Amino acid sequence: MAAKTDKLLSILKLQPVVPVLIVDDVASAVPLARALVAGGLKAIEITMRTPAALDAIRAVADEVEGAVPGAGTILNPAHFDAAVKAGSQFIVSPGTTRSLLDAARGSDVALLPGAATASEVMTLREEGYDVLKFFPAEQAGGAAYLKSLSSPLAGTLFCPTGGISLKNAKDYLSLPNVVCVGGSWVAPKELVEKGDWAGITKLAAEAAALK
């Protein structure tokens, strides 16, 4: 478990913001990922919310130099296995189930499991997880709530995701228990549909410069 945690941390520490992508058209996956990598965002979470997701992960893994593709919105073991086979180097879930933890235990690919309450965090810590996704961040109490967990749950690190933007990202990144944040603002749908890859690279560079 320690080795997988170290591997996950090495990915999450590549950049302050992990792009959270919903890819509708697999044809956009490679140029989108290249634009993000060019802006300094190498770790990329492609969510399993569309039929194109697995093909998008596969294309990014095969064709985008420097990219570290991961899969998000993983809800069950079938999702987990399919995402790993497609080339995901890390797995992200919005919450956690026993069957998902069992699937993760049998894989070399690290899981970033979601938690929103102190009890959920404590349960995952008992399973050996001390790097977690805090989701949905803004709706679950925001940076102030996460800060309040830092002392009683010391030693746990979070990647907050949900409602985070360029405006409030620093509120989270300034916390001692936050390793990075997840956000979709670096790849807005309108820029993807227009193929404005230069615009996305600019947004990625702004995000990569956050401290």
Residue whose structure tokens are 């995000």: 207
CA-nearest of 152, 151, 148, 169 to 160 is 169
Q: Give the list of residues 6+ apart from residue 37 with CB closer than 8 angstroms, or none.
A: 44, 64, 65, 66, 67
**Residue-range domain boundaries for the chain:** 2-208
Encode 148-165: b = buried (16+ Cβ within 10 Å), e = exposed. ebbeebeebbbbbbbebe
Catalytic annotation present for 120: no
Catalytic residue among 4, 42, 133, 138: 133
Summarised one tens digit per residue, pLDDT across range 184-204 is 999 999 999 999 999 999 999
The CATH homologous superfamily to which domain 2-208 belongs is: Aldolase class I (3.20.20.70)
**pLDDT value at position 211?**
80
Summarised one tens digit per residue, pLDDT across range 9-52 is 999 999 999 999 999 999 999 999 999 999 999 999 999 999 99
Catalytic annotation present for 133: yes
Overall average pLDDT of the 122-138 stretch: 97
Residue whose structure tokens are 């180097």: 89
Catalytic residue among 4, 42, 45, 138: 45
